[in-house]
């Protein structure tokens, strides 16, 4: 096959990548104007003829004469990846999801295909004759690890069995304590952080042995990450985070911390406990798994009430005390009008109205529309990003709120690591 034929074959292959209209390619090659449909048919026939000619004559086009394929990879803003490669595979392999992931360099345990498109790309060599390759384009997204019940079973084997359940008088109670373990980001630091939190919990519960009711919001970035993305751990939106523990160890550590809080309350008080799931922006799904595991462990304890409804804001009435809970990362100034709209009955009945928000890692108070809005402090240490930005001045502590069912908020206590 002469150089003219080789050039024609090369340009036909290049058109497959550039998606140039068939009529334009045909016009450049032969200076003849045809419709796009007519040109497509003509080029298809010419391509087959040239491939047959190369095979019969035993000639080969050298690699440098073949069209070069521009492979590419792209990271999208939403955490997805796009990959474009030239692959040698069979028609069946082009339909195999695991094969495509592996061929593009993705681990099928960490990534899943969103969409894929494979176009034929024929080349000829003296050794192999005409080969059918594929221009393969795939879009993938990270797999969010599903809740694994075995993680919970491992933790429950490590901690001591539950004592026999004591049924206490389930009245409203006049002494109410709200424990705010806000933004503690388990997983950012190592396992020594768990020991420090548990020691602090022992101190806290020792202060409130006469409490009738404990309110325990669970969530609000209890864990530092929502899922693993290959070797990285990320938030719900896919933002990579600094991390000291693996996803599995983070989950187990968070579960142990929550169980330690509940066990100490059960062992040292006769209080009723209300556990309220409050989603965070780092760990909405991972912490929900922790919450479900905790529910199963204490399933037979009728002194504990669990609220696992997934809502960004929740409201409770305890006597004259109306309390709102939320992470507070997305509402902006709209948060000041949510209480009366979303919980009008509680708003109307409450004399003492509080709205407790987290997310900002520092303490602030604002009196607005008859409600005291509080941002909760945290005992968590800043990561390298916050350190680099200078967000390091907040005092590390958590708050415990003491209420009286008849007279309102009586005080706020602070606890430090």
- In-domain check, residue 298: yes
Task: Please measure the distance between the N-terminal and C-terminal CA atoms of the chain and give it in whole angstroms.
Answer: 80
For residues 46 and 28, what is the distance between their CA atoms, to the nearest angstrom? 14
If asked whether residues 222 and 305 sit together in one domain, one would say: yes
Count of CB atoms within 10 A of residue 209's CB? 11
- Please give the pLDDT value at position 133: 84
Number of domains in the chain: 3
- Is 42 in the same domain as 103? no
pLDDT score recorded for residue 128: 57
Same domain for 154 and 237: yes
Asked if residue 366 belongs to a domain, the reply is yes
Residue position matching structure tokens 């099928």: 108
According to the model, what pLDDT value does residue 354 have?
98
The pLDDT tens digits of the residues spanning 237-277 come to 878 888 999 888 999 999 999 999 999 999 999 999 999 99
**264 contact partners, CB below 8 Å, separation of at least 6:** 201, 202, 205
Domain extent for 30: 3-62
Indicate yes or no: pTM above 0.75.
no
- Confirm whether 215 is domain-assigned: yes
- Average pLDDT per run of 10 along the chain, which is 417 residues long? 79 81 88 87 86 69 53 82 88 90 85 90 63 87 71 82 64 84 95 96 96 96 84 79 90 95 95 96 92 93 94 96 96 95 97 96 95 96 78 88 96 95
Tell me, yes or no, whether 30 and 128 share the same domain. Answer: no
Statement to judge: residues 263 and 378 lie in one domain = yes
Do 76 and 208 lie in one domain? The reply is no
| Residue 19 included in any domain | yes
Number of neighbouring beta carbons within 10 Å of residue 315? 21
Residues 257 and 128 placed together within one structural domain of the fold: no
- Measured CA to CA, the distance from residue 74 to residue 76 in angstroms comes to 6
Last residue of one domain, picked from the residues 62, 90, 106:
62
Shared domain for 174 and 125, answered yes or no, is no
Residue 212 lies in a domain: yes
Structure confidence at residue 132 (pLDDT):
75
Report pLDDT for 239.
84
Q: Do 50 and 118 belong together in one domain?
A: no
67 lies in some domain? no
* Cα–Cα distance for residue pair 182/205, rounded to 1 Å: 17
């Amino acid at each position: 096959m002469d150089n003219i034929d080789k050039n024609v074959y090369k340009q036909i292959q290049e058109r497959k990548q550039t998606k140039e209209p068939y009529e334009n390619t045909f016009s450049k090659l032969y200076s003849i104007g045809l419709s796009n449909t007519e040109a497509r048919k003509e080029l298809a026939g010419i391509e087959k003829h040239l491939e047959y000619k190369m095979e019969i004559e035993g000639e080969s086009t050298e690699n440098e004469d073949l069209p070069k394929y521009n492979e590419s990879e792209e990271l999208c803003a939403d955490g997805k990846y796009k990959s474009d490669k030239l692959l040698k595979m069979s028609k069946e392999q082009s339909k195999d999801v695991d094969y495509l992931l592996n061929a593009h360099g993705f681990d099928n345990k960490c990534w899943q295909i969103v969409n894929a498109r494979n176009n034929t790309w024929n080349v000829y060599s003296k050794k192999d004759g005409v080969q059918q390759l594929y221009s393969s384009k795939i879009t993938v997204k990270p797999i969010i690890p599903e809740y694994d019940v075995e993680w919970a079973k491992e933790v429950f084997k490590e901690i001591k069995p539950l004592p026999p359940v004591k049924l206490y008088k389930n009245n409203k109670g006049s002494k109410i304590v709200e424990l705010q373990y806000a933004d503690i980001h388990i997983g950012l630091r190592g396992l020594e952080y768990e020991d420090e939190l548990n020691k602090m919990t022992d101190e806290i519960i020792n202060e409130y042995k006469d409490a009738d009711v404990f309110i325990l919001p669970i969530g609000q970035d209890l864990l530092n990450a929502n899922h693993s993305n290959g070797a990285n751990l990320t938030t719900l939106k896919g933002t990579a985070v600094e991390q000291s523990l693996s996803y599995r160890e983070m989950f187990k550590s968070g579960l142990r911390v929550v169980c330690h809080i509940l066990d100490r309350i059960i062992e040292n008080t006769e209080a009723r406990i209300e556990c309220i799931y409050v989603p965070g922006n780092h760990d909405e799904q991972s912490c929900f798994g922790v919450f479900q595991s905790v529910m199963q462990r204490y399933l037979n304890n009728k002194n504990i009430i669990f609220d696992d409804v997934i809502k960004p804001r929740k409201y409770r009435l305890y006597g004259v005390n109306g309390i709102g809970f939320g992470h507070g990362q997305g509402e902006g100034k709209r948060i000041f009008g949510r209480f009366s709209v979303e919980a009008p009955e509680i708003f109307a009945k409450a004399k003492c109205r509080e709205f407790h928000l987290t997310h900002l890692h520092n303490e602030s108070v604002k009196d607005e529309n008859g409600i005291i809005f509080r941002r909760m402090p945290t005992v968590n240490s800043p990561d390298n990003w916050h350190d680099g930005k200078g967000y390091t001045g907040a005092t590390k502590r958590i708050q415990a709120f003491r209420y009286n069912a008849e007279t309102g908020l009586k005080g706020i206590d602070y606890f430090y690591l």
